[in-house]
Chains A and B, each alone.
Chain A
Amino acid sequence: DTGVSQNPRHKITKRGQNVTFRCDPISEHNRLYWYRQTLGQGPEFLTYFQNEAQLEKSRLLSDRFSAERPKGSFSTLEIQRTEQGDSAMYLCASSLGWASRARGARNYGYTFGSGTRLTVV
C-alpha cells in the first residue's frame, strides 16, 4: 500500500467553475476525512465517512460542497461555483478508527495525503 493518494496535486480554476478532487485512502482504513487548510492555519475539519456513510459535515461545508464515498473506497469532493475564498489546500486522511482493536489507542492517528492545492482566480 502506498498510503493516501490525492489527485490532482494542484488545480487552478476560474471563479464560478466546478472542481472535483479525488482521494484514495489506505485500503484497510474504514474512516476517511476531508480537511481544508489555509495559509498560517491548521487543518479544519470538513466531513468524514465510515465506509460509504457520511457521518458528519462541518458548518464550513456550504451547499456548494459535496462529498461522496460511493463504495466505501475512494472519495470525491466537489465544489460547485467556486469562489476566491475556496482557495486552500484540501487534505484527505484515513484511519482505522479509534475503536479498532487491531491498532489500539497508542497508535491512533491519521494518515494524510499530500493534498490538493486549489487556486481560484
Chain B
Amino acid sequence: TQLLEQSPQFLSIQEGENLTVYCNSSSVFSSLQWYRQEPGEGPVLLVTVVTGGEVKKLKRLTFQFGDARKDSSLHITAAQPGDTGLYLCAGGPNRDDKIIFGKGTRLHILP
C-alpha cells in the first residue's frame, strides 16, 4: 500500500516568516502534486512535479521533488495570512490513473 506522510500536521507562524512542509513516502511516484484547500471547498491544484530533483517556483512558493521521486517539500517565503489553508500532497498515478493523498499540513499564518 502506498502511503504519503506529511509533516508537520499543524503549523502556526507569524506573517513574514519562512516555512517548509514535507511529504514523504517509501514508494516511488511517477509524479507528485501539491494542492491547497480552504474550509468548505475542494482542493485546488498548485503544482505538479515529475522529474527527480525538479524545483518549481510559484511566486513565494518553492516546490521540490526528491531525487528518488519518493518525497517532496514546499517552502514558503515571507508567509502571508492569505497562505492559510490545508496543504495536501498527492502522489501518482502509477499503474492506474488514480492519485493518493497525504493527510495534509494545516497552515495558519498570524497577522
Residues 85-109 of B, flagged 1 when their CB comes within 8 A of A and 0 if not, give 0001010010011111111100000
Task: Indicate if the CB atoms of B97 and A97 lie closer than 8 Å.
Answer: yes
Q: How large is the interface on A (under 10, 10 to 19, 20 to 34, 35 or more residues)?
A: 20 to 34
A93 CB within 8 Å of chain B: yes
User: Of residues 29 to 50 in A, which have CB atoms within 8 Å of B's CB atoms?
Assistant: 31, 33, 35, 40-45, 48, 50
Query: Mostly helix, strand, loop or mixed at chain B's interface?
Result: loop
**Would B98 and A93 count as touching, CB distance under 8 A?**
no
User: Is B97's CB under 8 angstroms from A107's CB?
Assistant: no
Q: Is the CB of B44 within 8 A of A112?
A: yes
17 residue pairs bridging A and B, Cβ less than 8 Å apart: A31-B97, A42-B101, A42-B102, A43-B101, A45-B100, A55-B96, A55-B97, A98-B97, A105-B30, A105-B50, A109-B33, A109-B35, A110-B45, A111-B45, A112-B43, A115-B40, A115-B41
Residues of B within 8 A of A (CB): 4, 6, 30-31, 33, 35, 40-45, 48, 50, 88, 90, 93, 96-104
Q: Please tell me which one of the listed residues B42, B50, B93, B98 contacts residue A112 in the complex, with CB atoms under 8 A apart.
A: B42
| A48: contacting residue among B88, B97, B102, CB under 8 A | B97
B97 neighbours in A (Cβ, 8 Å) = 31, 48, 50, 55, 95, 97-99
